[in-house]
Amino acid sequence: MLPLRLLREARGFSQRRLARRAGIAYKTLQLLESGRHGPRWSTLEKLAKALDLKALDLAQAMERPRQETLRDATARIARDGERSWTAHLLEFTDDFRRRPSAGLVADAPDPRSGPRIMALAASIVERLCALAGIPAPWWCAGVPPLADPWFTAGAESLKVSALVESPAQFRQRNIFVLGNFLSRA
């Protein structure tokens, strides 16, 4: 569940560290954060103690899932380094697809984002908005193309496929992705 992950990250804990500190299985914490598992009260109490919260406050936070915004995702990339973009932007993409909302993309990416992340974020947002029938936010128009082409797959053997398959929203910013870039199982 997103609020649990945000509480964990706000305290600077990795999943493994929080699980150890709370005395619960790492896999249990993963399932709780993903929303694929509901917590027992005893587990909530352990997690709350490890996070320096009251169990009732943690339970209420977990009942009200907060959907992550693009700005949240890019702030985490700025914090974790540019290489973390795949996890953070694709997780944002999954969240957006579950409940599309113009409010999730209204704010420009974190100002600490570099040119590549800004261009990639704008391309992703424009593509998602087009697929959802939502107008792209104003800030996307001001994001210029990259000076050098960026092939996100990184593999030399996939460059030709990326040149052919990249949606227009990516090509216009000199970013080349495979056709299934925003699709995940």
3-state secondary structure of 175: strand
CATH number of the domain bearing residue 36: 1.10.260.40
Residue 45 CA from chain centroid, whole number? 28
Quick one: pLDDT at residue 65?
Answer: 55
Quick one: pLDDT at residue 35?
Answer: 72
Is there a single domain that holds both residue 88 and residue 163? yes
Is there a single domain that holds both residue 58 and residue 74? no
Is there a single domain that holds both residue 94 and residue 43? no
Encode pLDDT of 119-147 as tens digits: 999 999 999 999 999 999 999 999 999 99
Quick one: pLDDT at residue 64?
Answer: 53
Quick one: pLDDT at residue 9?
Answer: 83
End of a domain among 16, 44, 63?
Answer: 63
Is there a single domain that holds both residue 130 and residue 165? yes
Quick one: pLDDT at residue 184?
Answer: 60
Quick one: pLDDT at residue 169?
Answer: 95
Is there a single domain that holds both residue 92 and residue 153? yes
Give this prediction's pTM.
Answer: 0.66
In the chain, how many domains are there? Answer: 2
Residues of the chain where predicted confidence (pLDDT) is lower than 50:
1, 185
Is there a single domain that holds both residue 50 and residue 8? yes
Quick one: pLDDT at residue 185?
Answer: 43
Would you say residue 45 lies in a domain? yes
End of a domain among 17, 45, 63?
Answer: 63
Is there a single domain that holds both residue 58 and residue 104? no
Would you say residue 184 lies in a domain? no
Burial 1-33 (b: 16+ CB within 10 A, else e): bbbbbbbbeeeebebeebbeebebeeebbeebb
133 is written with which tokens?
């029938």
Print the domain residue range for 20: 2-63
Is there a single domain that holds both residue 93 and residue 159? yes
